[in-house]
A and B are shown apart, each in its own frame.
Chain A
Amino acid sequence: MKTDITKLLGIEYPIIQGGMAWVAEHKLAAAVSNAGGLGLIGAASAPAEIVREEIRKCKALTDKPFGVNVMLLNPNAEEVAKVIVEEGVKVVTTGAGNPAKYMEMWKKAGVKVIPVVASVAMAVLMERAGADAVVAEGMESGGHIGSTTTMALVPQVVDAVTIPVIAAGGIADGRGLAAAMMLGASAVQMGTRFVAAKESIVHANYKEKLIKAKDIDSTVTGTTTGHPVRCIRNKMTKEYLKLEKEGADFMELEKLTLGSLRKAVIEGDVVNGTLMAGQIAGLIKEELSCEEIIRQIMEQAESLM
């Protein structure tokens, strides 16, 4: 399937893997790229040299294009931004802020820049700043989210910009891809679907939680702090939401979630950890390889379109 995004990025299928913190490391990124999608390494809050190593390891596993997601709130973001150029990474997506100050450097180096946006105004300003495409991410997504749904956000962003739009949030199968295309998107980005992939390094307990999750099993913590995060309900979210209701301050809430994503991903602590996942987790029934996931999605989407 050829779209503006497959052409722009030189990939076979219009499927991008989200740059999830802790989860999107080189093995997952390489597996998605080798399967014809675009894999991303999530730089999250990692130091720049770790990101460099991840990029090199990913290159050793694939000849296909892959990208890096830069989390702009990372105190090391500037260093990470430079490493991307030095290592010749082809694509960068950005989250948690405004990447304008790195745009010139990346564009000069021929890096395709794709900011994740949660509003039309941000999409418009990013296009003007030189973005090659945008990811319009709805609040169905896992992890840090905006407040507009994919169904509402994608067509409004599509109408407001001339660059290609990638839909994200609530997409995990061929129906989701086909629907996103109908809304005017040129590709989809999926996070949760790939967290449950065979090549994903997340702890077996976490994967099991994802596969068992039902439609209403996610909740949003942090709305009162201005940093809402969608994750699967567990003891941690229950305590967090209770504290929020009682008007707990930021520091008190932070204590509960400090290192909690790592706890879930690496240690498999599904009781106290943060199990970031989108609302579509309920659709995921089995652990498949990235190649199987992408093949199934493409077959289903093509039969529908």
Chain B
Amino acid sequence: MLEKLIGIIEEQLNVEGMEITEKTSFKDDLSADSLDLFELVMALEEEFGVEIPSEELENITTVGSVMEYLQAKGIEA
């Protein structure tokens, strides 16, 4: 899943070639602002066919937190 996630993140945030791990913070490491995160959520929803409520955005701060959220929703890929 990490690989797939990285692909989406790279495309949405234009951070191709940057090192991205589970610990990577969207804001601090990838300079994403709040509008970028809305874009990312839309892309994740489309890719994984899941609805991410806006309340969750506060908890989605790192790549790992996205993985945890998706896994908790039963998404494996």
| Interface set of A (CB-CB < 8 Å, partner B) | 97-98, 100-101, 103, 118-119, 121-122, 124-126, 128-129, 146, 226
- Of the candidate stretches B2-10, B13-21, B52-60, B63-71, the one touching chain A is B52-60
Is B54 touching A100 in the complex (CB atoms < 8 A)? Answer: yes
B53 close to A119 (CB less than 8 A): no
- A125 engages B35 (CB within 8 Å): no
Chain A residues touching B, majority SS: helix
Q: How far is the CA of A185 from the CA of B35 in the complex (A)?
A: 21
With a cutoff of 8 Å between Cβ atoms, the chain A residues found around residue B11 in the complex are none
> Of B38, B51, B54, B57, which is within 8 A of A119 by CB?
B38
Tell me whether B41 and A125 are in contact (CB under 8 A): yes
Whether the pair A122, B35 counts as a contact (CB closer than 8 A) is yes
Q: Which residues of B contact A100 (CB under 8 A)?
A: 53-55, 57
A119 to B53 Cα, complex, angstroms: 17
A-facing residues in B27-75 (Cβ within 8 Å): 31, 33-35, 38-39, 41-42, 51, 53-55, 57-58
Contact indicator B42/A121 (Cβ below 8 Å): yes
Determine how close the nearest CB of chain A comes to the CB of B44; give it in whole angstroms: 11
**Which residues of B lie under 8 Å from residue A128 when comparing CB positions?**
51, 53-54
Q: State the Cβ distance, B26 to closest chain A Cβ, in Å.
A: 13
Contacts of A226 in B (CB 8 A): 31, 33
Task: Tell whether, in the assembled complex, residue A129 and residue B54 are in contact, meaning their CB atoms are under 8 Å apart.
Answer: yes
Could you say which of A118, A125, A146 contacts B54, with CB atoms under 8 Å apart?
A125
Q: Which residue of A lies closest to B40 (CB)?
A: A121
CB nearest neighbor in A for B41: A125
- Given contacts A98-B34, A98-B57, A101-B55, 11 further A-B pairs with CB under 8 A are A97-B34, A98-B54, A100-B53, A100-B55, A118-B35, A121-B39, A122-B34, A125-B42, A129-B54, A129-B55, A146-B35
B: which residues have CB within 8 A of A? 31, 33-35, 38-39, 41-42, 51, 53-55, 57-58
> Roughly how many angstroms separate A44 CA and B31 CA in the complex, as a whole number?
25
State the Cβ distance, A106 to closest chain B Cβ, in Å. Answer: 13
- By the criterion CB–CB under 8 Å, are A119 and B33 in contact? no
Contacts of A125 in B (CB 8 A): 38, 41-42, 54
Contacts of A126 in B (CB 8 A): 54
B38: A residues at CB distance < 8 A = 119, 121-122, 125
For the complex, give the distance between the alpha carbons of A236 and B69 in Å: 45
Pick the most buried of A118, A121, A126, A226: most chain B CB atoms within 10 A of its CB.
A121
Could you list some 18 contacts between A and B, CB below 8 A?
A98-B34, A100-B53, A100-B54, A119-B35, A119-B39, A121-B35, A121-B38, A121-B39, A121-B41, A122-B35, A124-B42, A125-B38, A125-B54, A126-B54, A128-B51, A129-B53, A129-B54, A226-B31
Q: With a CB–CB cut-off of 8 A, which chain A residues contact B53?
A: 100, 128-129
Query: Nearest residue in A to B52 (C-beta to C-beta)?
Result: A125
User: Which residue of B31, B35, B53, B58 has the most chain A CB atoms within 10 A of its CB atom?
Assistant: B35
A232 to B22, CA, bound (A): 43
Q: In the complex, A103 Cα to B58 Cα: how many Å? A: 14
A101 touching B58 in the complex, CB below 8 Å, given contacts A129-B53, A226-B33: yes
Kindly state the separation between the CA atoms of A119 and B71 in the bound complex, as whole angstroms. Answer: 28
How many angstroms from the CA of A262 to the CA of B50 in the assembled complex? 45
